[in-house]
Chains A and B, each alone.
Chain A
Amino acid sequence: MTDRDQLRQQADAAIAAGDWVEARATLETLWSAHASAGLAGFVAGRFEKLRGQFPFYPCRVAILRSFTLEPVLPLLRACAWVNRIDLSAKVGEFNAYAQEILDPAGWLYEYNADAIFLAVQTQDIAPELWDFYTEVGREEILGAVDRVLADYRQWIETLRSRTSAHLFVHSLEVPARPSRGILDAQTPDSQAEAIREINAGLRRIAADFNGVYIFDYEALVSAYGRARYRDEQRWAAVKLPMKSDAMLPLAEEWVRYRAPAAGRVCKVVVTDLDNTLWGGVIGEDGVSGIKVDREYPGIAYWNVQRALADVKRRGILLAIASKNNREDAIEAFGSHSGMLLGAGDFAAERINWMDKPANLREIAAELNVGLDSLAFLDDNPTERERVRHELPEVTVLELPHDPMGFADAIRRSPVLERLSVSVEDTERSRYYSEQRVRAAALGSASSVEEFYRSLAQEVEIAPLTPATLARAAQLTQKTNQFNLTTRRYSEQRLAELASDPAWAVHTVRVKDRFGDNGLVGVMITAARGDACEIDSFLMSCRVISRTVETAMLAYLAESCRARGLACLRGWFLPTAKNTPAADFYRKHGFELCTTTDAGTLWHLDLSKAEVTCPDWIRLTVTEESSLGKYAVS
């Protein structure tokens, strides 16, 4: 029996026995070793049976297209499942994308997708740039570029005005063999250049809208190999433009875009050291014996460090879990000349002789994130297997046997992808090192109040602006702990709420004497009669337990009074993670009015109760800017 058949039986046996962790781990291993069109149905079918056993991220995708891609869907679903996304997809009619976008009563807007992919090929939308390039003049070429961009802008505008789904627009591919041959590379009006001009234009259009992203189909085809990707015979026969082997890379790429949009991301990469971050064992080989530099074999590990440094710039924290003597490892960072990362690049480290699951738990607690925010990087398959089974929440990055492939495995991981990066993201590591100084200050303060005073916190509350939109949406998507309702909003939806006169969206920035914590809170409220309803009230774990929430609530109470509203009302919807916010309403004098299966509804009569900002916080409020209320750009 082959390894594949064995894994299939193992998965079925685990499902029959109700061993869900084992079943999922086996299916993940099966897929990572044998992913194929044939296996997709099996893997997706078995994952269906795990529904409800793990917190899979639900997502609905609509795909508008100019070519056949139904055969890619089983692969897409299987890829999504192994990335913990429960994806359902609907494909538009063949080559009917324009009508579907423009028809307000069609299936597209009823389907209520979280994400819409617009998959159009160069040869379909601009045949003169694909098949007939040598036949047309310069004028017509420029005309085609303008026409295509104008069409896209209209479609995107229409989509954006009718749905708040994430939009992913496929970039246009360049032909493997330009019509003019090598001549194409010699002139500025080249065929490839004209198509790339459209792609550059698409990026500019996307930037004009919220929640519109470019899916870089051109880069995908090029990375895979243009000639290897395309299948002209199949294109002619069934309008499927790619070979059977090329469908998997497309499915994987879709998931790499879909995962961050669905909130399926990891916030921390916890890495091993020996034979992962460098070649060799520091405790045995010493600083001079370990390998990490631009030569072979050290280059494999240099590439890993390069990939991790790049990931860190997206706002993902790095941490170490390694079985070593701590001094040996720290010395290696300080004194090895080939090392790209320094000890200071890591937000937390556990270098000791404890087992990995214990260390991962401690790291999650120290960084104040859930275990499901951790991605685990380790060359040792046994350690990976152990973490997979003991901590099923953690994402274990599957690594190939050859270290030369490690860096690529990091770069391909969907959980480390980001669709946008805010100032807060790039500064995140700094926030955490300031956090360690704060923790030390708390340790030395004689009372909690003294600690609060010593922080000298400044809380700035302001209405949502285009500049803070991305971060605010990100906070609604990623904040799990201090979050009263855990409602997730896309940038588009948030902008719509902010421009609705009945609604208000406020952001909260917190500074203290150790530094700027950045934008860390969001409040979404709606006026309903004489009540102000708190739709969302959340705060990053960076500033939990520092009374910032009281300052935020004091602002809400004050602004309600100023607007003549009589009371504040809000739900607490419990989740597995938001216990830090469970007592919030009670502690601030709210009365319980209703209890349902979903949660509890609370009420504060503003004529009777008062919420005051703690006197150790300086509260600054920016009221609506001179531009007036937020307007959707």
Chain B
Amino acid sequence: MANTPFLDRVRSIFSDVFQVPLDEVRAESSPDTIPNWDSLQHLNLVLAVEQEFNVQFSPEEIEQLLSVELVAALLEEKRVACEVS
């Protein structure tokens, strides 16, 4: 997947929420590669992304947010205004 403007910010959120070093978070990082990704951490992730990008995800969308790139893709789909730094 191409480097979307969201990818780096999403990786940084993953790193904070799951408490893994940033350089270990890759675009394809998923519940299979992040050991403490349980349902509660998933909720924490959703809330952190929502707050960061000022969006709201529906329950259907929440079920899909299962990797860094999927989160970034959905954000792009929602066409969130993004401050690229």
B partners with A: yes
Give complex CA distance A71, B41 in Å: 8
Q: Mark B32-60, 1 if CB is under 8 A from A, else 0.
A: 00000000100110111111100010110
Residues B85 and A2 in contact, CB atoms below 8 Å apart: yes
Q: Beyond A5-B85, A36-B51, A74-B44: 6 further Cβ-contacts under 8 Å?
A: A1-B85, A37-B47, A70-B44, A71-B44, A233-B58, A240-B43
Contact A245-B51, Cβ < 8 Å, known A41-B16, A233-B58:
yes
Residues A41 and B52 in contact, CB atoms below 8 Å apart: no
Give complex CA distance A74, B19 in Å: 12
Residues of A within 8 A of B19 (CB): 41, 45
| B residues adjacent to A (C-beta < 8 A) | 12-13, 16-17, 19, 40, 43-44, 46-52, 56, 58-59, 62, 83, 85
Interface SS, A side: helix
A247 at the interface (CB under 8 A from B): yes
Give complex CA distance A5, B43 in Å: 24
A182 at the interface (CB under 8 A from B): no
CB distance from A251 to the nearest CB of B (A): 12
Contact A37-B43, Cβ < 8 Å, known A42-B16, A237-B59:
no
Contact A38-B49, Cβ < 8 Å, known A233-B58, A233-B59, A237-B59:
yes
Residue of B nearest to A5 (CB): B85
Residues of A within 8 A of B12 (CB): 5, 38
Which of B44, B46, B52, B62 has the most C-beta atoms of chain A within 10 angstroms of its own C-beta?
B44
Residues of A within 8 A of B58 (CB): 233
Contact A37-B85, Cβ < 8 Å, known A70-B40, A71-B44:
no
A39 at the interface (CB under 8 A from B): yes
Residues of A within 8 A of B49 (CB): 38
Residues of A within 8 A of B44 (CB): 37, 70-71, 74
Residues B16 and A244 in contact, CB atoms below 8 Å apart: no
Residue of B nearest to A35 (CB): B51
For residues 34 through 70 of chain A, which have their beta carbon under 8 Å from a beta carbon of chain B? Answer: 36-42, 45, 68, 70
Residues of A within 8 A of B85 (CB): 1-2, 5
User: Total number of A-B contacts with CB less than 8 angstroms?
Assistant: 51
Residues B51 and A244 in contact, CB atoms below 8 Å apart: yes
Contact A71-B16, Cβ < 8 Å, known A1-B85, A2-B85, A237-B59:
no
A105 at the interface (CB under 8 A from B): no
For residues 1 through 21 of chain A, which have their beta carbon under 8 Å from a beta carbon of chain B? Answer: 1-2, 5
Residue of B nearest to A37 (CB): B48
A627 at the interface (CB under 8 A from B): no
A562 at the interface (CB under 8 A from B): no
Closest 7 CB pairs of A and B: A38-B48, A244-B47, A37-B48, A244-B50, A41-B16, A244-B51, A237-B59
A136 at the interface (CB under 8 A from B): no
Residues of B within 8 A of A183 (CB): none
Residue of A nearest to B85 (CB): A2
Residues A39 and B59 in contact, CB atoms below 8 Å apart: no
Residues of B within 8 A of A1 (CB): 85
Residues B50 and A39 in contact, CB atoms below 8 Å apart: no
CB distance from A270 to the nearest CB of B (A): 35
A576 at the interface (CB under 8 A from B): no
Residues of B within 8 A of A42 (CB): 16
Residues of B within 8 A of A39 (CB): 16
Residue of A nearest to B40 (CB): A70
Q: Which of B51, B56, B83 contacts A37 (CB 8 A)?
A: B51
Residues of A within 8 A of B83 (CB): 2
Which of A37, A233, A238 has the most C-beta atoms of chain B within 10 angstroms of its own C-beta?
A37
Residues of A within 8 A of B43 (CB): 68, 70-71, 238, 240
Give complex CA distance A6, B17 in Å: 19
Give complex CA distance A616, B58 in Å: 77
Residues of A within 8 A of B59 (CB): 233, 237
